[in-house]
């Protein structure tokens, strides 16, 4: 499933409302997620997963996204800078959003570490749902979950941002 096919993503998001959904696994490791043309769909996915986390405490949410971008392929130098900027922005927004949730409700965001010369991360983007203990596509889910079990393949997204401004420590009156 690619971001170029938003209908499949939107169908999966609609299925999140099913009471038999016990877990969600999303993979968003393609560079297209960082392009402006896919920002709206990416935001819809982020919003749906946060809404699920806030309203259904028993559903486990795992997200796999890039820790760092793969080696440049056909991207122009300016485009690579824009992709890195969009990546940093996305991670920051996920961290900030997660900080607003209680720790037990936060999605488990796994950042896939890409080696220096690697151009393809070898995993397919998509959303898998576990309904009543069974994944919608068990083979696809097993590949992604296998990656999460591999030591050193991912690192967790940390929800520990320094929210204090540059003058907060020296002069608390800046908050008045």
Please indicate, yes or no, if residue 79 is contained in any of the structural domains. Answer: yes
100-115 mean pLDDT:
90
* 23 contacts 60 by C-beta, under 8 angstroms: yes
Q: By three-state DSSP, how is residue 170 classified?
A: coil
pLDDT score for 41: 95
Average confidence score pLDDT of the chain:
86
Q: Which domain holds residue 22?
A: 6-157
Please indicate, yes or no, if residue 168 is contained in any of the structural domains. Answer: no
pLDDT at 110 over 60: yes
* Percentage of the chain exceeding pLDDT 90: 57
Please indicate, yes or no, if residue 173 is contained in any of the structural domains. Answer: no
What are 37's two structure tokens?
Answer: 């043309």
131-140 mean pLDDT:
93
- Residue 54 has φ and ψ, to the nearest 5°, of -80, -25
How many structural domains comprise the chain? 1
* 131 contacts 23 by C-beta, under 8 angstroms: no
Strands in 50-131 per DSSP E: 60-66, 108-112, 126-131
Please indicate, yes or no, if residue 167 is contained in any of the structural domains. Answer: no
Please indicate, yes or no, if residue 148 is contained in any of the structural domains. Answer: yes
């Amino acid at each position: 499933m690619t971001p170029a096919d938003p209908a499949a993503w939107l169908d999966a998001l609609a299925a999140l409302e099913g009471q038999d959904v016990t877990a969600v696994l999303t993979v968003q490791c393609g560079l297209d997620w960082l392009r402006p043309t896919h920002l709206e769909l990416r935001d819809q996915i982020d919003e749906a997963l946060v809404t699920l986390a806030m309203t259904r405490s028993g559903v486990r949410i795992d997200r796999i996204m890039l820790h760092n971008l793969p080696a440049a392929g056909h991207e122009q130098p300016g485009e690579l800078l824009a992709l890195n900027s969009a990546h940093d922005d996305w991670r920051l927004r996920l961290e900030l959003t997660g900080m607003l949730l209680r720790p037990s409700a936060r999605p488990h965001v796994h950042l896939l570490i890409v080696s220096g010369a690697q151009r393809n991360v070898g995993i397919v983007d998509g959303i898998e749902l576990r309904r009543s203990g069974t994944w919608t596509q068990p083979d696809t889910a097993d590949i992604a979950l296998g990656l999460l079990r591999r030591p050193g393949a991912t690192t967790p997204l940390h929800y520990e941002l320094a929210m204090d401004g540059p003058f907060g420590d020296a002069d608390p009156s800046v908050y008045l």
